Structure 1
Amino acid sequence: MRFDGSMTYVATDDLKMAVNASITLQKPLIIKGEPGTGKTMLAEEVAAALGLRLIQWHIKSTTKAHQGLYEYDAVSRLRDSQLGDDKVYDIRNYIKKGKLWEAFESEERVVLLIDEVDKADIEFPNDLLTELDKMEFHVYETQETIKAKHRPIVIITSNNEKDLPDAFLRRCFFHYIVFPDMDTMKKIVDVHYPGVESKLVREAMEIFFELRKVPGLKKRPSTSELIDWLKLLMSDNIPEDILRNRDTRSAIPPLYGALLKNEADVHLLERLAFMSRRS
Structure 2
Amino acid sequence: MQFSSTKDYVAPPDLIVAVNAAVRLERPLLVKGEPGTGKTELARQVSAALGLPMLEWAVKSTTKAQQGLYEYDAVSRLRDSQLGDARVNEVRNYIRKGKLWQAFEAEAKVVLLIDEIDKADIEFPNDLLQELDRMEFHVYETGETIRAAHRPIVIITSNNEKELPDAFLRRCFFHYIRFPDAETLRAIVRVHFPGIKEALLAAALSRFYEIRETPGLKKKPSTSEVLDWLKLLLAEDLSPEDLKADPANLLPKLHGALLKNEQDVHLFERLAFMARRQGR
Same fold, TM-score > 0.5, yes or no: yes
Identity over the aligned pairs, expressed in percent?
67
Q: Which residues of 2 match residues 146-185 of structure 1 at below 5 A?
A: 146-185=146-185
Q: Distance in 2 between matches of 1:135 and 1:73?
A: 24
| Secondary structure at the counterpart of residue 60 of structure 1 | coil
1:140 aligns with 2:157: no
Task: Look up the match of 2:124.
Answer: 124
Deviations 1:60-94 (A, max 9, x none): 00000000000000000000000000000000000
Deviations 1:163-197 (A, max 9, x none): 10000000000000010010100000000000211
What is the CA distance between 1:217 and its match in structure 2?
Answer: 1.3
Code of the aligned partner of 2:175: H
TM-score, normalising length: structure 1: 0.99
Q: Distance in 1 between matches of 2:268 and 2:133?
A: 48
Task: Look up the match of 2:199.
Answer: 199
1:10 aligns with 2:21: no
| Secondary structure at the counterpart of residue 214 of structure 1 | coil
What is the CA distance between 1:249 and its match in structure 2?
Answer: 4.4
Deviations 1:39-70 (A, max 9, x none): 00000000000000000000000000000000
Aligned length: 278
Q: Distance in 1 between matches of 2:118 and 2:177?
A: 16
1:251 aligns with 2:245: no
Task: Look up the match of 1:35.
Answer: 35
1:217 aligns with 2:211: no
Q: Distance in 1 between matches of 2:42 and 2:128?
A: 22
What is the CA distance between 1:33 and its match in structure 2?
Answer: 0.2
Q: Distance in 2 between matches of 1:200 and 1:70?
A: 51
| Secondary structure at the counterpart of residue 219 of structure 2 | coil
1:72 aligns with 2:82: no
Q: Distance in 2 between matches of 1:91 and 1:249?
A: 70
Deviations 1:219-269 (A, max 9, x none): 11000000000000000111221114x314421101000001111110111
Q: Distance in 2 between matches of 1:242 and 1:268?
A: 21
1:266 aligns with 2:265: yes
| Secondary structure at the counterpart of residue 146 of structure 1 | strand
Q: Distance in 1 between matches of 2:7 and 2:247?
A: 37
Q: Distance in 2 between matches of 1:261 and 1:159?
A: 17
Q: Distance in 1 between matches of 2:171 and 2:121?
A: 19
Code of the aligned partner of 2:182: M
Q: Which residues of 2 match residues 42-53 of structure 1 at below 5 A?
A: 42-53=42-53
Code of the aligned partner of 2:270: R
Structural RMSD (CA): 0.7
Moved over 2 A (4+): none
Code of the aligned partner of 2:216: G
Checking the alignment, whether the CA contact within 8 Å between 2:217 and 2:264 is kept in structure 1 is: yes
Structure 1: state its 5+ residue gaps: none
Checking the alignment, whether the CA contact within 8 Å between 2:37 and 2:224 is kept in structure 1 is: yes
